[in-house]
Amino acid sequence: MEQMFLPLKRYAQFTGRSRRTEYWLWFLFQVMASLVFSILAMMIGDIAVTLNRLFSLAILLPTLAVAVRRFHDINRTGWWVLFPMAVFLVAMIVYLSMNGANFMSQMTLLGSLGPKPTPQQITAVLPVILSMMWILLAYLAAAIVTLVFNVMDGTPGPNRFGPDPKGRGNVNVF
């Protein structure tokens, strides 16, 4: 239980290393909090939604910090946290540079559909939406790479980001 709240103790500490246990228990804490806020939103409405937004804002720094420290534990730079977003932005820029005019006209059409579009209107917009699927696939691939990094065991012994949080010493094979 102590590991679950360790990111709060190390609130904005972007140096050092964090074990998988610390990272995934923090993730579990966020999922449980999200469930609680969802239940509260069904019961009391907008107040719970506002509280959820405030809570999310309050835990943004420790979430980023534990993610950076987790990458440090596998001897990678913390900038890997931005990898999925960077892939998404590059894919979006490439897409818009190739199809920008068509995309904007289709989005204008999409905005004018109203709450109950006809099948013909949906059919007219569908090709543009489907052509954007590769952006989602690129983002998904980057997110999977990040997930794989987060389930990897940390570097045994000290690395360039600090001592091993598991307390393992230098490992010499020979």
Q: How does pLDDT run across 116-158, given as a tens digit for each residue?
A: 877 877 787 777 778 788 899 999 999 999 999 999 999 999 9
Is 96 in the same domain as 147?
A: yes
CA 83 from centroid of its chain's CA atoms: 10
Q: What are phi and psi of 159, to 5 degrees?
A: -130, -170
Banded model confidence at residue 25, pLDDT cuts 50, 70, 90: very high
Kindly state the helix (H) or strand (E) to which residue 39 belongs, with its residue range. helix 20-44
Residues 27, 32, 37, 39, CA torsion sign? positive
Is 43 in the same domain as 111?
A: no
Measured distance CA(54)–CA(64) in Å, rounded: 16
Query: Residue 69 in 3-state DSSP?
Result: helix
Average pLDDT over residues 78-86: 96
Look at residue 129 in the predicted model and tell me its pLDDT: 76
Look at residue 111 in the predicted model and tell me its pLDDT: 72
Does residue 88 fall inside a structural domain? yes
Please give the tally of structural domains in the chain. 2
Is 2 in the same domain as 69?
A: yes
Does residue 146 fall inside a structural domain? yes
Residue 142: give the domain boundaries.
80-152
**pLDDT: which is higher, 103 or 67:** 67
Tokens read off for 40: 């509260």
